[in-house]
């Protein structure tokens, strides 16, 4: 059987507002992305995933969609999108789009109709509940602060919104609504997109009795979602049936991928549950992002746990960053060899068994920007400041070169460019064979051309607590990956290296197998 293209592939996440502006309004767009496809082809990624590009009032920067089938004029037109699809395909790059079906914008015609009365045809397409103004039906919280319930004067009822109040939650118990969602998925499948990333897919169904989420023992009932077990507004078992329905639809088309954002407090077991046969192809494993230590131990534990749970039943995935988290580069602010630290993590990611995701800018070591409160635009940041400062800092413009605004735009961008763009930019790093970008390119190319690294079984070898060592084996081939996290030189037993004959990649320019591992050394042998 042919192995599906997405297994072992490298998927590059683009945050379209921040990748490349082509019409000088300070906001990235589709023509901008098209103009950078040559770069992505040079880098060697298999696919791009675009965060939402659909019509939206932008209360949550596109995750509040008001038309599932239209492109927001800010990003371009449907014609531009078809163009992007075609040009990406010409370069053998697949295109994955972001689908948000837990909620719509409050400006979506479905919601406008639904809120207009209690007996219109779409009255039941959202989650409406009787109650008394000022007394929400239960204790569910919005992820972006405050109660998840908003009073609607017109219907004299509450509606549910797990995110901002302009993002009302759809009612997946209404079959007509579900049909409309399936039609929208079909529309994009017919257009030829290569797959979907489904936003908060584990939240589609809510408890039918709207039970209060239980308080975590010892916590107070202050409005803070960490204080509750979110068991009744998340991860309801019915959601798995919705996922199976989506899978059945997508499987009628060849070579498409379904990726779930499973924002479940359960973590690993939930990712597994959503990717069992007949469900989604992939679910992001967010747990690399949570590891803040710089030593192999926590990473190894996570990978071992993933392997023992997923076995050959489901296919894992790994990410180091995305548009909802701080960039992982900030962990190394105090290091005297940041590039070395980043090379170690990039090598771990790109030699993992699974499908891996790169968030734009990771390949040049982009940093978080310091955004003052007055410039914060992320609703989560605005509502939860200062406890939480929001997600803007990791969404700043891509850094292309040393020109003003890093050539992202010719005008002041919607978010500031980070202060390091003069050295951390694509142009400077492309021409430097020792740059992080050049190293990413080599890693991606190695992964692409080596089935062991793409598909092989992974097995750890214990050498030293500071060295992450593992083999990847596939058919009769074997690759050894050695990552020295330590800030000292470590000697490897010669007997461990005997069965390997060549160096596939080394970040210290070593061409021959060497038993001495320098600090932050990466060596990949075959």
Of 59, 41, 154, give the one whose Cα is nearest residue 100: 59
CB neighbour list of residue 495: distance below 8 Å, 6 or more residues apart: none
For residue 493, the 8-state DSSP code is P
Q: How far is the CB of 15 from ligand NOJ (least distance, A)?
A: 9
Q: Which residue is nearest to ligand NOJ (CB)?
A: 63
**Residue 491 burial by Cβ neighbours in a 10 Å radius (0-12, 13-18, 19+):** exposed
**Closer residue to ligand NOJ in complex, CB, 44/145:** 145
Residue among 29, 261, 363, 368 flagged as catalytic: 261
Distance (Å, whole) CA 329 – CA 267: 23
**Closer residue to ligand NOJ in complex, CB, 392/521:** 392
Q: How far is the CB of 197 from ligand NOJ (least distance, A)?
A: 9
Q: How far is the CB of 59 from ligand NOJ (least distance, A)?
A: 10
Angle between helices 175-191 and 238-250 (to 10 degrees): 30
Q: How far is the CB of 258 from ligand NOJ (least distance, A)?
A: 16
261 is catalytic: yes
Residue among 29, 46, 72, 199 flagged as catalytic: 199
Pairing between β-strand 195-198 and β-strand 257-260 as defined by DSSP bridges = parallel
Instruction: Give a three-class secondary structure readout of 435-451.
Output: CHHHHHHHHHHHHHCCH
- Residues near ligand NOJ (CB under 6 A) are 60, 63, 100, 163, 199-200, 261, 323-324
**Cα 237 from chain centre:** 24
Q: How far is the CB of 464 from ligand NOJ (least distance, A)?
A: 38
Q: How far is the CB of 242 from ligand NOJ (least distance, A)?
A: 17
**Closer residue to ligand NOJ in complex, CB, 60/235:** 60
**Cα 196 from chain centre:** 12
Distance (Å, whole) CA 76 – CA 81: 8
**Closer residue to ligand NOJ in complex, CB, 6/163:** 163
434 is catalytic: no
Distance (Å, whole) CA 502 – CA 154: 72
Distance (Å, whole) CA 367 – CA 358: 14
**Closer residue to ligand NOJ in complex, CB, 324/514:** 324
Pairing between β-strand 157-160 and β-strand 149-152 as defined by DSSP bridges = antiparallel
**Closer residue to ligand NOJ in complex, CB, 17/472:** 17
Active site residues: 199, 261
């Amino acid at each position: 059987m042919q192995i599906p293209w997405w297994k072992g592939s490298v998927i590059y996440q683009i945050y379209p507002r921040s990748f490349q502006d082509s019409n000088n309004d300070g906001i990235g767009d589709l023509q901008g992305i098209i103009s950078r496809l040559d770069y992505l082809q040079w880098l060697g990624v298999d696919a791009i995933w675009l965060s939402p590009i659909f019509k939206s009032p932008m209360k949550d920067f596109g995750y509040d969609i008001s038309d599932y089938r239209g492109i927001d004029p800010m990003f371009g037109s449907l014609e531009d999108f078809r163009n992007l699809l075609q040009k990406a395909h010409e370069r053998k790059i697949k295109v994955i789009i972001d689908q948000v079906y837990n909620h719509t914008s409050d400006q979506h015609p479905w919601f406008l109709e639904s809120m207009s009365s209690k007996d219109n045809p779409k009255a039941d397409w959202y989650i409406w509940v009787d109650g008394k103004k000022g007394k929400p039906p239960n204790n569910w919280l919005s992820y972006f602060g405050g109660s998840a319930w908003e009073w609607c004067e017109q219907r004299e009822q509450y509606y549910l919104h797990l995110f901002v109040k302009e993002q009302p939650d759809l009612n997946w118990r209404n079959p007509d609504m579900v049909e409309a969602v399936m039609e929208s998925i079909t529309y994009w499948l017919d257009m030829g997109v290569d797959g979907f990333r489904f936003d908060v897919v584990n939240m589609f169904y809510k408890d039918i009795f709207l039970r209060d989420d239980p308080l975590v023992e010892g916590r107070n009932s202050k409005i803070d979602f960490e204080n509750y077990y979110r068991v009744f507004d998340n991860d309801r078992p019915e959601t798995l049936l919705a996922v199976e329905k989506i899978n059945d639809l997508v499987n009628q088309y060849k070579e498409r991928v379904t990726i779930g954002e499973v924002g479940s407090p359960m973590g690993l077991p939930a990712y597994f549950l959503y990717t069992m046969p007949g469900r989604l192809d992939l679910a992001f494993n967010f747990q690399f992002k949570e590891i803040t230590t710089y030593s192999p131990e926590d990473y190894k534990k996570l990978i071992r746990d993933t392997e023992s749970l997923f076995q050959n039943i489901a296919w894992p995935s790994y990410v180091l960053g995305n548009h909802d988290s701080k960039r992982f580069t900030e962990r190394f602010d105090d290091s005297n060899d940041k590039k070395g630290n980043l090379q170690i993590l990039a090598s771990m990611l790109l030699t993992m068994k699974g499908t891996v995701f790169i968030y734009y800018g990771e390949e040049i070591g982009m940093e978080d920007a310091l955004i003052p409160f007055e410039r914060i635009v992320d609703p989560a940041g605005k509502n939860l400041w200062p406890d939480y400062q929001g997600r803007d800092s990791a969404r700043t413009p891509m850094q292309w070169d040393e020109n003003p605004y890093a050539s992202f735009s010719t005008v002041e961008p919607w978010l500031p460019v980070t202060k390091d763009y003069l050295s951390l930019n694509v142009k400077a790093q492309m021409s430097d064979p020792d740059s992080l970008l050049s190293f990413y390119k080599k890693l991606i190319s190695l992964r692409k051309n080596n089935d062991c690294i793409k598909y092989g079984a992974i097995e750890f070898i214990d050498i030293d607590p500071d060295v992450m060592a593992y083999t990847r084996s596939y058919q009769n081939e074997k690759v050894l990956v050695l990552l020295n996290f330590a800030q000292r030189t470590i000697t490897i037993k010669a007997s461990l290296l005997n069965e390997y004959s060549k160096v596939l990649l080394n970040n210290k320019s070593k061409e021959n197998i060497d038993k001495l591992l320098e600090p932050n050394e990466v060596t990949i042998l075959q």
